Amino acid sequence: MSSNRIGVVGAGTMGQGIAQVLAASGCEVQLYDVADEQLERAKGGIGKGLDKLVAKERLSSEDRDSALKRLETTSKLEDLKECEIIIEAAPENEELKERLFRDLSQLGKEVILASNTSSLSLTQLAAVCDQPERVVGMHFFNPVPVLKLVEVIRAEQTSDATVKKIEQLAEKMGKTAVPIADSPGFAVNRLLVPMINEAAFLVQENAATPEAIDQAMKLGAAHPMGPLALADLIGLDVCLSIMEVLQQGFGDPKYRPCPLLKRMVAAGYLGRKSGRGFYHYE
Ligand code: NAD
């Protein structure tokens, strides 16, 4: 097992970003996905991401080339055997992640298993693994190369040694690790998404337009973007599913999703990705 070799499971939006930052930070990266075409797309995406940093003079072209040499892709799970830490960024599906963690835990007794899940219980994921003390949450934010935060989520079973290793890796990646207990929505989503939901209530009640709400929060609370523009960026379906996780997880009516948000998702108005959300996009 090499202490500098990190596995990334899932080569989608988050897996790509995580693999890019790891490779640029000097780690040997083994990027795994079930879909070969996704691995090809990820290699192209990571190359472009690093090129952008070179263009901004934040990375030399030699460092870009050596980062790319440190990146390997595979569709065989066994190829992750030599990794010290594996970061999972597969789709947000409980059954899929549990199956994956059961398989990953069979690769070796010592490999640390981190999940980038936004909403699932780490305690439940750890429970399906042998040596559950090595399971932990490592929650990155999108876009990974830009946003500095990593929420480090401690399952009931997670050991201090596991948390320490993850904090060290986050630091190596130039990120700031913030420790959080395993509770629904962790910290950022539990604060941010109810604010978005409340902004949707304001629109539903005709209390203010989306433009007025966003301007108010930019000027009055110094937010870099308003909550409804942010909702469109995140995806209204993602916001709704986080509200549902909070509502189910806490059983508290204060987390009820706004009916307007539900109607917009049902209509396919998902934000930027569908061309229409609280705003219209070309
Ligand atoms: P995505 O759909 O972009 O990528 C998922 C990837 O996983 C795809 O490439 C898919 O081919 C692959 N995959 C499917 N089944 C797999 C399997 N069995 N094993 C390995 N790979 C498999 O998803 P994403 O947006 O990158 O999200 C990944 C995880 O990160 C989710 O848990 C999500 O909740 C979390 N997350 C997402 C964001 C975000 O803004 N997108 C932010 C923070 C956390």
- Rounded to whole angstroms, the Cα distance separating 81 from 83 reads 6
Q: What's the first-to-final CA gap in the chain, in angstroms?
A: 49
- Distance between CA 27 and CA 5 in Å, rounded? 6
- Tell me whether residue 248 is exposed, middle or buried, using C-beta atoms within 10 angstroms of its C-beta: 0 to 12, 13 to 18, 19 or more: exposed
CATH value at residue 18: 3.40.50.720
**Residue range 218-230: average pLDDT?**
97
- In the reported structure, the alpha carbon of residue 255 is separated from the centroid of ligand 1 by a whole-number distance in angstroms of 25
Q: Are residues 43 and 114 in the same domain?
A: yes
The answer to whether residue 118 is catalytic is: yes
For residues 177 and 205, state if they share a domain. no
How many angstroms separate the alpha carbon of residue 11 from the centre of ligand 1? 7
Domain with residue 205: its CATH number is 1.10.1040.10
What ligand 1 atom has the least distance to the C-alpha of 88?
29
- Residue 119 has a pLDDT of 87
CA–CA separation, 42 and 33 (whole Å): 10
93 and 230 fall within a common domain: no
Residue 189 annotated to the active site = yes
**129 and 21 assigned to the same domain:** yes
Final residue before a domain boundary, out of 134, 160, 181: 181
In the structure encoding, which two tokens stand for residue 233, read together?
């960026």
Q: Using the 8-state DSSP alphabet, how is residue 280 labeled?
A: B
Q: What is the rounded CA–CA span in Å between residue 241 and residue 88?
A: 20
Tell me the one-letter amino acid at 253: P
> Which domain does 114 fall in, by range?
2-181
**What six digits make up the tokens of 171?**
């630091």
Residue 219 and residue 139 share a domain: no
Residues 21 and 106 in one domain: yes
37 catalytic residue (yes or no): no
Mean pLDDT taken over the chain = 96
The answer to whether residue 280 sits within a structural domain is: no
Q: What is the pLDDT at residue 282?
A: 86
Residue 216 has pLDDT above 70, yes or no: yes
Q: What single DSSP character describes residue 199?
A: H
Neighbours of 9 (CB within 10 A): 27
- Atom in ligand 1 nearest the alpha carbon of residue 100: 18
C-alpha angle 160-164-170 in degrees, rounded to nearest 5? 145
- The answer to whether the peptide bond before residue 184 is cis (omega within 30 degrees of 0) is no
At 157-200, the pLDDT tens digits run: 999 999 999 999 999 999 999 999 999 999 999 999 999 999 99
Q: How far is CA 105 from CA 18, 122, 276, in A?
A: 21, 14, 42
Active site residue 223: no
Single out the residue of 233, 11, 10, 17 nearest to residue 146, CA to CA.
Answer: 17
Ligand 1 pocket, CB under 6 A: 9-15, 33-35, 38, 89-92, 96, 100, 116-118, 140, 142
Say how far residue 72 (Cα) sits from the centre of its chain.
Answer: 21
Q: Which amino acid is at 248?
A: Q
Q: Cα separation of 9 and 100, whole Å?
A: 9
- 14 and 139 in one domain? yes
Residue 56 and residue 160 share a domain: yes
Asked if 161 and 125 touch (Cβ cutoff 8 Å), the reply is: no
Residue scoring higher pLDDT (142 or 140) = 140
Convert the pLDDT of each residue in 6-48 to its tens digit.
999 999 999 999 999 999 999 999 999 999 999 999 999 999 9
End of a domain among 181, 204, 228? 181
161 alpha-carbon distance from chain centroid: 23
User: 33 lies in a domain?
Assistant: yes
118, 119, 121, 197: the catalytic one is 118
Number of domains in the chain: 2
Give the domain-ending residue among 181, 200, 233: 181
Q: What was the pLDDT predicted at 3? A: 66
CA-based Rg of the chain, rounded to a whole angstrom?
20
Give nearest CA residue, ligand 1 atom 11. 35
Whether 145 and 233 share a structural domain = no
What is the C-alpha separation between 260 and 257, in angstroms, rounded?
Answer: 9
